[in-house]
Amino acid sequence: MKAGVIMPKSGPKSASRPAVKSESGAFFKENPDIEMLDVFLIDVNGIPRGKKLPAAHAAEFFKTGLRIPRSSFAVDIWGRDVLSAGIATQGGDNDGICHAVPGSLCRVPWLEDAPTAQVMLSMTEADGSDFFADPRQILKDILVLYKKKGLTPVMAAELEFHLLDGKPDAQGRPQPPRSPRTGRRSVTAQMFSLSELDEFGAVMNDIARACKVQGIPADTAVSENGPGQYEINLRHSPDALQAADHAVLMKRLVRGVVRNHGMDVAFMAKTYGDKDGNGMHLHFSVLDKKGENIFVGRTRKGSPALRHAIGGVLATMPDSTAVFAPNLNSYRRFTPGSHAPTRVSWGYDNRTAAVRVPESLRDATRIEHRVSGADTNPYLAMAAILAGALYGMEKKIEPPAPSGGSVYETDAERLPFTWERALEAFENSRFIQKYFGREYAKVYLACKRQERDRMLQQVTSIEYDAYLRDI
């Protein structure tokens, strides 16, 4: 069964409803020990929000759906209502109707003490139309535009994260974990270290087993460029919505598994100020009606479609940065020499660029978008990237010359380097309003600005250290 199948817009009576009901019946027949069912949607920040249902109520839920406040999609990172988004009290804080995403029902292997299953939700209005503020809907709408042109994006995510000790340090800050085998704390980067993977083999193996149970196509795992930092690559999917589902579910899975091992995990863009941050690199190609990759050219340089897609992605990158870097912490990641991009740029097999065309077999020609942090909402990031590529292919936008050396040292346009500049570019963007819709752009901006305002009200410890005594 495939997770994340695109749901039609014909409403609750569509063919997908009986299919989900049948699927759930078979699942609970095969898993009679399940006691609880976690049902959740994904909010503006990519955070699962939902309810726990007794398994005895599951049949009714799969038949009729579940009502959840529409305002659940317009809360800030702390879960507070964002009134300026216009969804909560202005409309009486009414409910939307949530139905299960076909194929997403599975066991939760890290909650076996009280056997639990989980299922993702998508929200509809009372008339069966998709709810505009559901981030899955934003990506679905972009995929419809591709489908109308006979095109199919193929997409995959690479997720970086830091394993953390279950207890903070003496100052209350996160710290790398101790090896379960040796008791040694990771303090240095161990890029591609097999020994590092072996020392944390128990947790990594449990992550792999959980992925198998939940149908998440995890591929390789590597030790990355920071203490306790790892990357898990997901295999490519010809359903970009499914690829985004996989990325969201992977984050939930990793967090659940590592906590069973007495550790924690950080998907923050910048966990440690003086170390490399966590990215979510997104790879994609595009297939035509015959299933052939339109980015393939006569040489490894690729086709005109590849160039135009890159041109569109670069042209819309500043306007989309507020999606790729959605938090205050996100902008700490954009530092020269940190394996994170700082400029609107591209290159062949160039990891200092924002967009990289990896060295590969010609049939596997693809684009790697390296701007997003691991803290981004995968649905929105993929939507912005695919919209930019489509815009570039439609307008036949030619990119600048590819960068062959360090992009950090060039005069290429800088990415918006503060949260406020990125939000201003997003707000004033005709591209965003066209592809995300004016209504959703308003919701996103309202949520992010509420978060920004609260952040700016906080006086940090370094300010007290610098200014309190002598100024």
Q: In the prediction, which pLDDT does 5 show?
A: 25
Q: In the prediction, which pLDDT does 338 show?
A: 83
Residues 25 and 66 in one domain: yes
Lowest pLDDT segment from 4-8, 41-45, 131-135, 432-436:
4-8
Residue 466 maps to a domain: no
Q: In the prediction, which pLDDT does 126 show?
A: 80
Domain boundary among 104, 130, 156: 130
Q: Which domain holds residue 52?
A: 16-130
Residue 463 maps to a domain: no
Residues 218 and 125 in one domain: no
Residue bearing the bigger pLDDT, 423 or 224:
423
Residue 459 maps to a domain: no
Residue 23 maps to a domain: yes
Residues 178 and 109 in one domain: no
Residues 77 and 162 in one domain: no
pLDDT, one tens digit per residue, over 249-292 is 999 999 999 999 999 999 999 999 988 999 999 999 999 999 99
Query: What does pLDDT average to over the chain?
Result: 91
The average pLDDT across 382-399 equals 98
| Residue given tokens 């990357």 in the structure block | 231
pLDDT, one tens digit per residue, over 16-58 is 555 677 789 999 999 999 999 999 999 999 999 999 999 999 9
Q: How confident is the model at residue 322 (pLDDT cuts 50, 70, 90)?
A: very high
Q: In the prediction, which pLDDT does 418 show?
A: 96
Residues 152 and 125 in one domain: no
Residues 217 and 169 in one domain: yes
Q: In the prediction, which pLDDT does 220 show?
A: 84
Residues 73 and 172 in one domain: no
Percentage of the chain with pLDDT > 90?
Answer: 76
Residues 295 and 359 in one domain: yes
The average pLDDT across 382-400 equals 98
Q: In the prediction, which pLDDT does 3 show?
A: 31
Q: In the prediction, which pLDDT does 199 show?
A: 82
Please say if the pLDDT value at position 380 is more than 90.
Answer: yes
Residues 376 and 284 in one domain: yes
Q: In the prediction, which pLDDT does 190 show?
A: 62
Residue 469 maps to a domain: no
Of 444, 386, 367, which is closest to residue 141 (Cα–Cα)? 386
Q: In the prediction, which pLDDT does 390 show?
A: 98
Q: How confident is the model at residue 15 (pLDDT cuts 50, 70, 90)?
A: very low
Please say if the pLDDT value at position 4 is more than 60.
Answer: no
Q: In the prediction, which pLDDT does 23 show?
A: 85
Domains in the chain: how many in total? 2
Q: In the prediction, which pLDDT does 10 show?
A: 30
Lowest pLDDT segment from 14-28, 206-220, 430-444, 448-462:
14-28
The average pLDDT across 80-96 equals 84
